[in-house]
Chain A
Amino acid sequence: MAIKWFKKKGTKDKGRTLDPELTNTKQTEKNGNDSKPPYEQSMAGQPCEAPAPVASIKEDLPETESKKDNKDVKTGFFGRLKRGLRKTREVLTSDVDALFKGKTALDDDLLEELEELLITSDIGVKTVMDLIERIRSKSSKIKSPEDLKAELKREILSLLDAYTPTEKETSRHNPHVVMIVGVNGVGKTTTVGKLAARMTRQGKSVLISAADTFRAAAIEQLEIWADRAGAQIVKHKENADPAAVAFDSIQAAQSRGIDIVFVDTAGRLHTKINLMEELKKISRSISKNMPGAPHEILLVLDATTGQNALTQAQMFHDALGVTGIALTKLDGSAKGGIVISICNTLNLPLQYIGVGEQIDDLQEFEAKQFVDALF
């Protein structure tokens, strides 16, 4: 670990002085100025073609670039969410119904089975114990699966509602800067791509900052996403100083009058102090250019992650002051129950959930609908 850190540090100066990068940035800038609504310029056909100047591609095929068919685009938020969570719901619903088979009241066996159900959703032992205790105290009122479901929903909602969702005012800052952080492999880059597409669709101009300079081909991956989303991108070479990339991105965004900037950072385990310090440095370099920025720090968590997600959230929060959480990979069979504990203990809002690999498979999270879709 120490060695890696030194390596990174050693290459910093190189990254700073790379002229080709600066020219590259300028070029994109020029292209970015012939501004049609970015939505209409977006979405190149081939996912892996050579990175072309983003804004010059004019095709309005927002979804068709994906490899798999995408019939239910128009089913709206609820339908998509339900589709994404179908598996989860099937498991939980059938189980809750099965629990009550032939029974008329809540007994200890049933509570134990309920405990198993909740624990296997990764909700976490302590939270489950609390939930079970609360259900137990109301056991006299619960006579049917419906009662139990309603009670569970209410209890889980009360945990999720512990925070007050902040009204996002992205237009107040110019640009509004969002930094995306998380451990390796949770889906940060994909989330950035999806977020960018979401914003361009709302008619906002978006700039993506490729501050993951460590992982091989992370920049290329992000370029393709930027291309699909119709967003601009600022990048340096691999192994450049990520803080420098972020700094340049803010500068570019300011001079181009960009509405929103997404800073994609390299995945890092929350236990690596040096890398966490690097994140703080990126944040500082952003605020140097724009006091008050970054305005949002979005922590990306993987729904398949177990109890460690809580520690992750805690450590990233301590280091940077996380403002929201995006929970990805909810389209699998993992239930991501740990977010309930996270929201509850850290008082952080769960803002987005990722329910698929399509560019529009990122949903804004609403606790009530989430819990409704769950049971």
Chain B
Amino acid sequence: MFDNLTDKLNNVFKQLKGHGKLSEKNIADGLREVRMALLEADVHYKVVKKLIADIKERSLGREVMASLTPGQQVVKIVNDELTRLMGSEHEELNLSGTHPVSIMLVGLQGSGKTTTAGKLAVFLRKSGKNPYLVPADVYRPAAIDQLRKLGTQLTVPVFASTPDMDPVEICRQARVAALKEGCDTLILDTAGRLHIDEELMGELGRISSAVAPSDILLVADAMTGQDAVNIAQSFNERLDIGGVVLTKLDGDARGGAAISIKSITDKPIKFVGVGEKLSDLEAFHPDRMASRILGMGDVLTIIEKAQAVVDEKQAVELEKKLRKNQFTLEDFKDQMVQIRKMGSLTDLLNMIPGMGKMKQMKNFQVDEKEFVRIEAIINSMTPKERRTHNIINGSRRKRIAKGSGTSVQDVNKLIKNYAQVMKMMKKLNKGGMRGMGRGMLPF
């Protein structure tokens, strides 16, 4: 289902060899594919229609660049257009106003408001603020408990709301209480509600006029379908929202809702939720979202993640060792630990372009436990064995297998793999190391 759009387009444009111009006739088929891709990514029908018209206009008569195939050319135009549409820069949270300022979270049921409230508290504290959590969801059973528990977990003070209180009154009283606690930023967690529920939407309006929040964030699920347009429009009309938090982006939803919401409300997406941990809230990058919606992977994030965990000095050290063919099993293990620091392999694979397709293949999955096993095996070797794998004979293998709780076959497999890597290194060394990125080893 998630075929790479570039591949598809390349197929369409196969007949268009050479560097011709993009004409109405030869891009029509390509645009049909783009349209399908956008609709499959849950971009709203009307938005797609307009986008396609824009893209058509922009691509007509363009020279096909020498370095690109016509398919790539069209993808580039689409990508640029999407990025432009989503706003070119990241926009910050608005925290201006009289103290204490309030941030109000609104959205449908189950979009992730309470979790986002906790994540925002972490984010605010990191940027030197004193957040104060205010549970204003008196409808859903135990919603107040949920935020209170998050507060305890984070040691962030939580307003003592009870389910029999009026949400507007909660928010008003919380302002006073926040000042007493010495907090400067309130996070108002409102109840989930349907955008067509007049009564509850009216309540949001009352809260908003009672506390005059400096930012109102619509919390929306990245998996939302065509209805995203109606939801965003209703909330925006009622409340004049300041921005959007897109949640559950750690799944495989393409997140076309991001485009729909942005084009309908013209409000920036400020944050994205990328996991269940309370630190999993990230700034939104329009360009990366564009590639994701088109199913083209997110290489930038991988590079960033790698940069964050790979120690530059270690990498240089390693490169030296590799050159001299002194890459030991010990180094092998270190490498693995470093890569695992970047997050789960499955997550990483998801970001690599074209991997979406591979995942569709039956039984393709990365066994994270494999790493634990490899680490255990290497840990069960003596230092000498780690340096010179040649001395690991049958009885040593048996001992290592016993020590690591694996089988002799597992040990054999590891040593074989390692020997292969070494062989590859030798070849590469002959051809020069230039082709290899620092610290990123193939294995």
Distance between B137 CB and nearest chain A CB, rounded to angstroms: 11
Q: Please indicate the chain A residues that have their CB under 8 angstroms from the CB of B257 in the complex.
A: 306
Within 8 A of B (CB), among A103-137: 116, 119-122, 124-125
Residue A271 lies at the interface, judged by CB distance under 8 Å to chain B:
yes
Residues from chain A with Cβ under 8 Å of B36 in the complex: 125
Contacts A2-B368, A220-B142, A304-B224 given: A47-B163 contact, CB under 8 Å? yes
If A4-B276, A122-B225, A311-B1 touch, whether A269 touches B248 (CB-CB below 8 Å) is: yes
Write out the residue numbers on chain A whose beta carbons fall within 8 Å of the beta carbon of B150.
216
Cβ of B195 within 8 Å of any chain A Cβ, yes or no, is yes
Which residues of the partner chain A approach B276 to less than 8 Å between Cβ atoms? 4, 184, 214
Q: Would you list 19 pairs from A and B whose C-beta atoms are within 8 A, ordered by A residue?
A: A1-B346, A4-B275, A4-B277, A47-B163, A120-B45, A121-B226, A217-B145, A221-B140, A221-B141, A271-B251, A271-B252, A273-B346, A274-B344, A274-B368, A307-B41, A309-B223, A310-B1, A332-B194, A334-B225
Q: CB distance B163 to A304 under 8 Å?
A: no
Q: How far is the CA of A329 from the CA of B365 in the complex (A)?
A: 33
Query: CB distance B142 to A334 under 8 Å?
Result: no
Interface window among B78-86, B106-114, B235-243: B106-114
Q: Does A333 contact B (CB under 8 A)?
A: yes
Contact of B39 among A3, A119, A270 (CB under 8 A): A119
What 3 pairs across the A-B complex have the smallest Cβ distances? A306-B225, A185-B110, A306-B42
Q: Mark A269-282, 1 if CB is under 8 A from B, else 0.
A: 11111100000000
A339 to chain B, nearest CB (A): 11
CB distance from B410 to the nearest CB of A (A): 20
Give Cα A59–Cα B163 distance, bound, in whole angstroms: 21
Residues of A within 8 A of B (CB): 1-4, 46-48, 67-68, 87, 116, 119-122, 124-125, 183-187, 214-218, 220-221, 223-225, 238, 269-274, 302, 304-311, 329, 331-335, 338, 357
Bound Cα distance from A46 to B142, whole angstroms: 12
**Does B142 contact A217, Cβ atoms closer than 8 Å?**
yes
Question: Is the contact region of chain B dominated by helix, strand, or loop, or is it mixed?
Answer: loop
Additional A-B contact list (20), CB under 8 Å, known A48-B162, A269-B248: A1-B344, A3-B277, A4-B276, A47-B163, A48-B142, A48-B144, A120-B226, A216-B145, A217-B143, A217-B145, A221-B143, A270-B252, A273-B346, A274-B368, A302-B110, A304-B108, A304-B224, A306-B257, A311-B253, A329-B108
Q: What range describes how many residues of B lie at the interface? A: 35 or more
Contact indicator per residue, chain B 319-361, by CB within 8 Å of chain A (1) or not (0)? 0000000000000000000001001101100100000000000
Whole-angstrom distance between the Cβ of A183 and the nearest chain B Cβ: 7
The distance in angstroms between the C-alpha atoms of A186 and B253, with both chains bound, is 15
Residue of A nearest to B150 (CB): A216
B275 and A1: CB pair below 8 A?
Answer: yes
Cα separation A251 to B1 with both chains bound (whole Å): 42
Give the most central of B164, B194, B195, B199: most A CB within 10 Å. Answer: B194
Residues from chain A with a CB closer than 8 A to the CB of B227 are 122, 304, 332-335
B108–A215 contact, CB under 8 A? no
Q: Do A186 and B110 contact each other (CB < 8 Å), given the known contacts A1-B275, A216-B153?
A: yes
In the bound complex, CA of A68 to CA of B197 (Å) = 11
Chain B residue nearest to A3 (CB atoms) is B277
Residues of A within 8 A of B145 (CB): 216-217, 220-221
Contact with A along B55-75 (1 / 0, CB 8 A): 000000000000000000000
Interface centre among A46, A272, A309 (most CB of B within 10 A): A272
